[in-house]
A and B are shown apart, each in its own frame.
Chain A
């Protein structure tokens, strides 16, 4: 809709793209606040106990990390496809991204259930509190991404996008890559260290 106004803006960046980057800057601060709190209490609190490695389910989480990274690739390939004029490619890669996003959430749900039964709960200790809070916040962002990408898929199927008009695909991509980026940080600090 608002793709062709690149020349209208004083910076040359379309409003939507600049707006998305500005929003992502605030998200850096949001996750930064949570992550800092986690790391600081983990290193500083004598009562912060870390569950043994076996309880964390590293192999499954590693798989989930691959799933999310792959969804990031399919998302950028979706943009690439529509930039080259291929609506079919756009639809295909958006669908793949959605599928992988749901896989991520499914694995996450399994992980939560499993850990809770094993004794890592929201109140079993600070590790559990931070683990569920941060990964749930991340999962909420994944859900937001699913909503946004589903909307794009619906529009794509209606033929609304072509090689010149596809700005929102790019903006959703920025958001989705950011969600992946956050997970790249969360994964080692909860599962590996």
Chain B
């Protein structure tokens, strides 16, 4: 019974974290930290939010290896595409 109640608690806790991080990222975007740093900060916050959603809402945390491999594999490949094309077309 207590495990079930703590489930709800976890979800609401993650909700609060996501709401906070959303507000944080909007607030931070109005600061001028230099283009590179703004981008890095926004991406870091987005990455953190993505991790929370995946780990807790999608229960990735408790999933088996095969599922982890699929998800991280895709993420890495997408990143590979981006990182290899960026030097060719992306940097002025």
Contact B64 A184 (CB under 8 A): no
Expressed in whole angstroms, the minimum distance between the Cβ of A101 and any Cβ of chain B is 15
How many residues of A sit at the interface, in one of the four size bands? 35 or more
Asked if A73 meets B82 with Cβ closer than 8 Å, knowing A28-B71, A44-B92, A193-B38, the reply is: no
Q: What residues of chain B lie closer than 8 Å to A187, measured between beta carbons?
A: 46
Stretch touching chain B among A62-70, A126-134, A137-145: A62-70
Contact B71 A25 (CB under 8 A): yes
Expressed in whole angstroms, the minimum distance between the Cβ of A188 and any Cβ of chain B is 4
Asked if A184 meets B71 with Cβ closer than 8 Å, knowing A77-B11, A192-B25, A193-B38, the reply is: no
Question: Contacting B89 at CB < 8 Å: which of A40, A75, A193?
Answer: A40
Q: Does A13 contact B (CB under 8 A)?
A: yes
Nearest 3 CB-CB pairs, A to B? A32-B78, A28-B74, A192-B29
A–B pairs, 18, beta carbons within 8 Å: A11-B64, A21-B67, A22-B70, A31-B78, A33-B78, A36-B82, A40-B82, A43-B86, A44-B90, A62-B23, A72-B53, A73-B15, A77-B8, A77-B11, A180-B57, A188-B25, A188-B43, A193-B39
Residues of chain A having any CB pair with chain B under 8 Å: 11-13, 18, 21-22, 24-26, 28-29, 31-33, 35-36, 39-41, 43-44, 46, 58, 62, 65-66, 69-70, 72-73, 75-77, 80, 83-84, 173-174, 177-178, 180-181, 184-185, 187-189, 192-193
